[in-house]
A and B are shown apart, each in its own frame.
Chain A
Amino acid sequence: SQQGEEDPQALSIQEGENATMNCSYKTSINNLQWYRQNSGRGLVHLILIRSNEREKHSGRLRVTLDTSKKSSSLLITASRAADTASYFCATDAWSSGDKLTFGTGTRLAVRP
């Protein structure tokens, strides 16, 4: 079963615009992470936010976490064509033995 569901499934924007992706999950978590996947490749870890944190920044990335709504968002500012990829959220929780469970992903296309 998928713990997380990303929204939207696909997003197309112009270079320079901001991209926002959302992730909703079902059960209480320890941490939420965001990953990026270029086509046909492995995933690359972007950022981790703990359940007691509300916001985190890393370069052009901003992640928020709302545990009351069981949701997170990933904002990529000033997008570039090289940001074109699929983005996944992943959660871990004590209740599921700390296994890392992924959402369905958002496919982002940044037009030059």
Chain B
Amino acid sequence: DGGITQSPKYLFRKEGQNVTLSCEQNLNHDAMYWYRQDPGQGLRLIYYSQIVNDFQKGDIAEGYSVSREKKESFPLTVTSAQKNPTAFYLCASSMRHGAFFGQGTRLTVV
């Protein structure tokens, strides 16, 4: 089954903790993206990567970090510097004909 998988589905973070969200795809796509979605809002781009070992900041990169060591994987770390991390996080991969999305990770600060 080809697709894009995000894990975990739900994640709880204590104040001051770093957490890492996983995103894996087996679609052989070059480009991968991380978006943040707040309730009732659109998607805002955090980071994106067009090729392995390269990535660019999106519109709201502060407090987040990523790596792209393998084509299949694009993990997102939400650091303690992100002051308001509670949101729905979506990962996507794309080959120009359209993006495929994972089912999202809902992160809550407790």
Contacts and interface: CB of A to CB of B under 8 A. Distances in A.
A98 B35 CA distance: 15
Interface stretch (B13-21, B63-71, B77-85, B100-108): B100-108
Contact of A99 (B33, B41, B42, B102): B33
A44 interface: yes
B33 A42 contact: no
A101 B94 CA distance: 13
Interface string A29-65: 0010101000011111100100000000000000000
B interface majority secondary structure: strand
A90 interface: yes
Contact of A98 (B50, B101, B106): B50
Contacts of A88: 42-43
B48 A44 contact: no
B42 A100 contact: no
B104 A41 contact: yes
A31 B99 CA distance: 12
B90 interface: yes
Interface of A: 1-2, 31, 33, 35, 40-45, 48, 88, 90, 92, 97-105, 107
